[in-house]
Structure 1
Amino acid sequence: MHDLLRSYAADLAAEEDPPEAIREARARLLDHFLHTAERADKALYPQREPVDLPPARPGVRPEHVESHAAALDWYRTEFRTLLAAADHAAEHGFDAHACLIPQCTATFFHRSGHWLEWVDACRRALVAAERLGDPGLRANMHRGLGRAATLLHRWDEAEDHLHTALRLFREAGDRVSEGYVLVNISGIFEIGSRSTEALPLQLSALELFREIGHAHGQARALTSSGWSYHLIGRHDEAVRHSMDAIALYEGLSDLPGHASAIDTLGLAYRELGRLEEALTVQREGVRLFAQSGDRYYEAGSWSDLAETLRRTGDVEAARAALRRSLAVFEELRHPRAGEVRRELDALT
């Protein structure tokens, strides 16, 4: 619609339609985007804990986005509109929509690299959650802020938000979310090179998930602890935890989680000198990350694969893998692009 035509339509609505009709139209529009986003989020991440949504108003027809590919296409097309819808909701007193639209977009935020937009959306949503006095929504917004800040390497900010989320989830008795946040907090220490601090959190989460019989949580905790074991040089334990995670992921629908466990297994094999096994496993990890749309971890897995290729003596293939990694990190405008560029320059 042309801008002038849209402006004229808005003027006509303001002049001719009663305020309650305009508010109901806004509510139906927001319901459409919220309920479609929730369907798309389920398609991207079927193992994610369900989001408790109010029922859609009569006449609302959410779109059908039932496959992973359809969900990615829908988010890529409607992402900016979702951000605008969440802002519009907050501006016009639809505080629940202002919180729930970002919550139902979290998987796409995480995988697509839109982390700055994730921070902005969660900050506005947190204000709306505080107006509502809803501790569950507050906890989820703090968790979103913490996860985004971790990916942006804002360590102190991430730790503050995630510890607040952990406290709120514990107060609510939400043990599943408590376990996931323990894993999220451990991620600060992993990326920030404090792996010895990460491991106890991951093992606590693993124990919690085993106690409540939560298979996906166990897979996530095993993947994270396998990575920490790799980082501190305990590669046999990294292999064991990664293989246990892979066995669980084979019965679940979580492509990035499965890819992470496979990637860690490949790194552990590499450090144990099992280079051919490492290459086979890491190539599968790269493929799954690319299929999932998780751009950040796809870039990291290309870099990991490059180092394994270098150790086998295949310098040209290593250089090609680093170029793939660099292209994605540059697309994401991530600081790791500089690190990969230096690795590429040093490769001889």
Structure 2
Amino acid sequence: MMTQIIPVNESRICNFTKITENCQLFRYINGYDNKAITKLEEDFPLAFGIRLYNSPEQVEQILRIIYRPHNFYCIHVDTGSDIHIFNSLKAVARCFENVVVLSKIRTLYSSIRLVEADLLCMKEALKSTIQWKYFLNMAGEEVPLKTNLKMVQICRLLQGRNEIESEPAPPFAIRRMKWVYNLTEFEMIKTKVLKMPFTLNVRLRKGCAYGTFARKFVHFVFKNDIANDLFEFLKDTYAPEEVFFNTLNSVDGAPGGYNVTITNANRDFLSRSIKWQWDRHFKCPGKFRRNICVFNNKALPWLVKQPEMIVNKMDGDYDQVVIDCMEEYLHNKTLQAGVNGFNKTRYLQYPHIKDLHKKNKKNLWDKI
């Protein structure tokens, strides 16, 4: 599918270069330094990688929602984006020692370049002196549903396991890998060339491109030969971002991995709240884009009750109110950290957490 570069009206882009000249004032006005932070959070730093093509204002808003001085943040701006978007976010990053902004890849929907952009941010995270425990990849049109503290509490329940949607690749996903696709700057072109058979002794799995990855698993992605071979096999296929991490998670010896089926449809995938157009049990309070619900403010009463960590998707150009309300809601929740406890019961019923609890019930509860 052809990806069109949309000219950016510079007047619509917030002049971050100007307003970040005084970093102390910028941080104060935008509330970066007024977060209530617990020792639990300080002892359990997280890393975030955010991919975006446009909407630098929305990404800055996401950053200020999830920002904590002890975490690590990497933002990858598509090289096909307007240069003012990169410069704007680069100006923001200048005010923080733990925020990195890159622009190295022209990402393309359903191509290996999405994986490459995530890997770039993972590399930056590993180079950081911050000893983060989990890496969460995000898109520019996603918004957290949980405070940083709640995310930490959920990640601690994982006990070093990944949180990746994964199921055996269905026939339609296997068919996508039957033919070679050529990548140009703007599109993927299906050829009539059959791919060589997948020869690794690994069963391909499919799932969401976004997840929560344990630090040891991120190391594994870069150092394991199977990971490299799988990447090479997938790089000229359609939608490899829905196969790469999902398959590696099931490889024998993969840190934090498992073969349990975890799916959004079964409501046991914690990293994302995402609603597809073919979900018969859900009516989208918004509109669909690429078969995914773009939520508006009518969804707020439903969203705040969901157990997942992040919602996909929200678009400020469509409805800024829903994002602003989520920001205020999460800010208030942060202030109430000592008032409202963490209800573990629901999370301990998820299959990839439940078996950990069964194996060593006392030890698990002692560590929470």
Q: Same fold (TM over 0.5)?
A: no
Question: Which TM-score tier does this pair reach, normalised by the shorter chain?
Answer: under 0.3
What is the TM-score with the length of structure 1 in the denominator?
0.24
Larger RCO of the pair (alpha carbons < 8 Å, separation 6+):
2
Determine which structure has more spread, i.e. the larger CA radius of gyration: 1
TM-score by length of 2: 0.23
Structure number having the greater strand percentage: 2
Of Structure 1 and Structure 2, which has the larger fraction of its residues in helix?
1
